[in-house]
Every structure is written in C-alpha cells, then in structure tokens.
Amino acid sequence: MSTFSKAPSQLTRRQSLGIVAFALTTAGCSPSQQPSSGPSVGQTLADATARRFYQLRGWQAAWTPALRESLQGVIAEARTHGLRPAAFQPKGAAENGPPPADENITVAALAYAKALSMGAIDPHRVESIFTLERNSVDLGAGLEGALQRGDIAGWLASLAPADQEYQALSAAYVAALAQTGLPAAPARDAPIGSSMAPADQARQLAANLERRRWLSRTPPIHRIDVNTAVAFFDYLKPDAPILAGRTVVGRAKQPTPSIQAAFHRLIANPPWRVPQDIAEKEILPKGRGYLAREHMRFVGDRLEQAPGPKSALGRVKFDVEDPYDIYLHDTPSKALFRAHDRHRSHGCVRVEDAVTLARGIAAETDKADAFDQALGSAGTREVELDQSIPVRMLYHTAYLDPDGRVLLAPDVYGADDKLAAALGFGQAAAAQLQEPGVLLGP
C-alpha cells in the first residue's frame, strides 16, 4: 500500500474547553532514513516556491518514508481547520501503489502549509476589494528547516493562527461536523444566523476560519476593528480594556469593503461631499425643496451638505485615508444604533457615541482641548492627532462574544457563500434579506 492513501471518512476528534487538540505525528530523519539522492530533483517544477525549496537543498530529493508518513498524518487532520484533506493529497497518490514522486509530495506539503499560514483561497477571488494586511511566511525555507529537524508535523502545526478565537471556531466546526451544532444565542444584540442546521453552520465556520488565516498574525496593537457582519467596533490600545460600541455599516447592495487604513486627524463639524452616484440617483430627484431643507448646495461640481445638526456626518469625521472614501463618522440618526439590523449605510461606518470616542483619542496626545475648541467653532476644523491609528474592516460572521461563546450572524453580504463554495463546500439556502428604505448619509 502507498504511504499516502485516501483520507478516512471519519476522523478522531478531541475537544476540551472549546479548544481542539491537534493530533500530529512527528518523525525524525536519521542517516538510515535519508531519501535517495538524484541529480536535478525539482528543477522542472513550475511552482516557484517548490523550486526555491529544492534549490535550497541543492536539487536533492527530500522525503524519507518516515517524513512522508508524518505529512500524511497531518494532512488527515485538515478537517480541524475547515479544510478538506483530499484537496492536499499529492498527485499520483493511490492505494496499493508506489509512493508519489518526491516533487509531488513537496508541492502538496507546500500547498497545505500555504493554506494554514495564508489561506487556501486568494481573498481577491471572492472579494472585489481587499486591502487587509495579509500573513506572510517563507514557506520554502520553512519546509527545508522542518525536514532538516525531522519535524514536519511541528512546523505545519505552527502555521495556523493560535489565538483563542481561531481555536474556538475550529472546535465549533468539529462539533458541527459531529451534528451537534451551536445554540441560537445572540451577543450584544447582534442578529444570529438564519440557519441552525449543523451542515450550514459547518460551512459558515469553515469560511470564517479561512478569513482568519488570511490575516497577519501580528496586527497593530493600537487599532480600531469594525466587524461589518454584526455592526460593532472594538477600540484596542495597549494596557487598556477594549472599548466596544455599535456601528451602522454598508447595506447588502453597498457593502463596507474589507480594507485596512489609518487616520491621523479628526475633522470637527465636517461637511458631506456627496458622491456623484448618490447625488444623481437618490438626492437630486427629490427636488430643490429637499436640497434646501437638508442644507445642500453645489460647491463646484459636487453636491455638498453643510455642517450642522442635519449633516449626515454628524459632528466628527475620523479621516481614514484610503482610496475608496470609506471612513468612520458621527451621525444625527442616533436611533439606528438601537436597530437589530444595522446594515443601513452606503458603505461608510457610523459610530455610536462618536464624539466621546474622538475626544478620548484626542486626549491620548493632549489634543482634547483642541478638539473641543474645534467642535465648538462655527466652521469645519481639523485636529491633528500626532499619532496614526489603523482601522480594519473585518467581515466575520462567526465570532466570540465577551463570554467566549461562538456565535453566528447572517451572511448579509453573501460573502460566506462565495468563500465556502471556493473552499469546496456545497451551497446553503440563501436568506432573504430586506433592504432598508430611505438612506441619507455615506
């Protein structure tokens, strides 16, 4: 029988305190186990990472029987990451056949390593805009070092995210495969997922595990994270508790994109320069009377709403610098923060109690007085913060609540379906989402 055989349909699963214990087999590489050497192994490979790997080892074969067996054991546990073991079997692997070629094993090992460290799917395949900081690993050098140590299992185990949330989502995925599912319990007034079927939960969890593998393992320690799936934000800074609050984010037809950018200034009493498409489709058809009531007029060739009580940007704008004109801001429509579904904007993020958040951020560099003076002025004022604060827009429909429970939210943007399909999962029944009525604001 070949060292590589088809992945078993049922895997051994262990779960303790919501954390999956990975069963990984390690193997040494003693002189008696060295692979047979041959000249120019790997030189004809099209895969650039695999070619670099063989170049690092002088174009010599890499895989001993013990190392092949160790790799087989690790790939068999791919389901704990929401991945299909069959997707990572080496080309030419078959029951009762000879071992796959050395190059094919290497390509399979690198593909699985990439899936664990950076994701199996390129995010740009399923999202039109994606600028979040990605994880980056030198896989060729990593694999060579692992084989030199005789510890392929340990190296692969080190590549996936190790944080509590990833581990909890992994455990929930395994539980869903075992047909136990998750309880229907919302967190912080967030809507729960529309399907409680374990199979649908499993595909949703698999998509969210993949999204976390995309991300850098060392995000900025001082940042704002907005979860656009459930319309909440978290403000994180060193040596301080997390400040959390509600947001209003892009509706289904105009989703808030998955981006990462930063701001270093606050704009007090900002005007709203209305994007051309919004002006033409939603505002200008309402006539001059509406424009007058909403304090809107043309400034040059752009429709603009003046600062004041009616301004769609409220009293403060967090001037996030990105090419998509997506930013955080206040709003006069405070009642929307109490809504169950807060996907009501044209893509920008309205922040609950934005003035208090802005004042606190300004105070971090002794700019609170300057901010208050700017806010109390009659016109628009900019306040430089003397620091840059990154903002990440994350679409996480599976997440941990403050009590450590895994919760699922509806796939408002339809992104879970696209990603799950790309990962090889079947389609789930699409929830019928109601679009909000009148929108005013970015």
Decide if pLDDT at 5 tops 50. Answer: no
Rounded-to-integer distance, Cα 373 and Cα 370, Å: 5
pLDDT score for 18: 35
pLDDT score for 374: 97
Rounded-to-integer distance, Cα 180 and Cα 288, Å: 58
For residues 344-367, average pLDDT: 97
Q: Which amino acid is at 374?
A: A
Q: Are 88 and 112 a contacting pair, CB within 8 Å?
A: yes
Binning pLDDT at 50, 70 and 90, where does residue 11 land? very low
Q: What percent of the chain has pLDDT over 70?
A: 83
pLDDT score for 207: 97
Q: Are 257 and 316 a contacting pair, CB within 8 Å?
A: no
Rounded-to-integer distance, Cα 205 and Cα 317, Å: 34
Binning pLDDT at 50, 70 and 90, where does residue 16 land? very low
For residues 275-300, average pLDDT: 94
Site of tokens 């069963």: 23
Decide if pLDDT at 219 tops 70. Answer: yes
Neighbours of 17 (CB within 10 A): 8
For residues 59-82, average pLDDT: 95
* Enclosing H/E stretch for 303: strand 302-305
Rounded-to-integer distance, Cα 242 and Cα 232, Å: 12
Decide if pLDDT at 61 tops 80. Answer: yes
For residues 242-249, average pLDDT: 97
Decide if pLDDT at 39 tops 70. Answer: no
Span of 3-17, 245-259, 322-336 with lowest mean pLDDT: 3-17
Bridge partners of residue 15, in order along the sequence:
20
For residues 369-391, average pLDDT: 96
Q: Are 307 and 376 a contacting pair, CB within 8 Å?
A: no
Structure tokens at 54: 């063989």
Query: Which residues 6+ apart lie within 8 Å of 199 measured at CB?
Result: 176, 428
Decide if pLDDT at 67 tops 80. Answer: yes
Q: What percent of the chain has pLDDT over 90?
A: 78
With CA atoms as reference, report the closest residue to 121 among 156, 86, 155, 82. 82
Q: Which amino acid is at 311?
A: S
pLDDT score for 274: 94
CA angle 54, 58, 61 (to 5 degrees): 60
Binning pLDDT at 50, 70 and 90, where does residue 24 land? very low
91-106 confidence digits (pLDDT tens): 987 776 788 999 999 9
Q: Show which residues are catalytic.
A: 329, 348
Look up the CATH superfamily of 219-271+307-400: L,D-transpeptidase catalytic domain-like (2.40.440.10)
For residues 319-332, average pLDDT: 96
DSSP H helical ranges for 120-163: 139-149, 152-157
- At 408, is the secondary structure helix, strand, or coil? strand
- At 329, is the secondary structure helix, strand, or coil? strand
Decide if pLDDT at 375 tops 80. Answer: yes
Higher-confidence residue: 15 or 36? 36
For residues 323-348, average pLDDT: 95
Binning pLDDT at 50, 70 and 90, where does residue 183 land? low
pLDDT score for 6: 38
Q: Which amino acid is at 281?
A: K
Q: What is the pTM of this model?
A: 0.85
pLDDT score for 92: 85
The length of the chain in residues reads 442
Binning pLDDT at 50, 70 and 90, where does residue 228 land? very high
For residues 143-171, average pLDDT: 96
pLDDT score for 198: 84
pLDDT score for 15: 36
Rounded-to-integer distance, Cα 39 and Cα 35, Å: 13
Rounded-to-integer distance, Cα 220 and Cα 133, Å: 10
Bridge partners of residue 267, in order along the sequence:
317, 382
261-282 confidence digits (pLDDT tens): 999 999 999 999 999 999 999 9
Q: Where are the domains of the chain?
A: 15-160, 219-271+307-400
* Enclosing H/E stretch for 75: helix 65-76
Structure tokens at 7: 């992945």
Q: If phi over 0 gives left and psi between -120 and 50 gives alpha, with beta otherwise, what is residue 189?
A: left
What does the mean pLDDT of the chain come to?
Answer: 87
With CA atoms as reference, report the closest residue to 317 among 332, 327, 307. 327
What is the number of H-type helices and E-type strands within the chain?
Answer: 12, 16
Q: What is the DSSP letter of 258?
A: B
pLDDT score for 99: 86
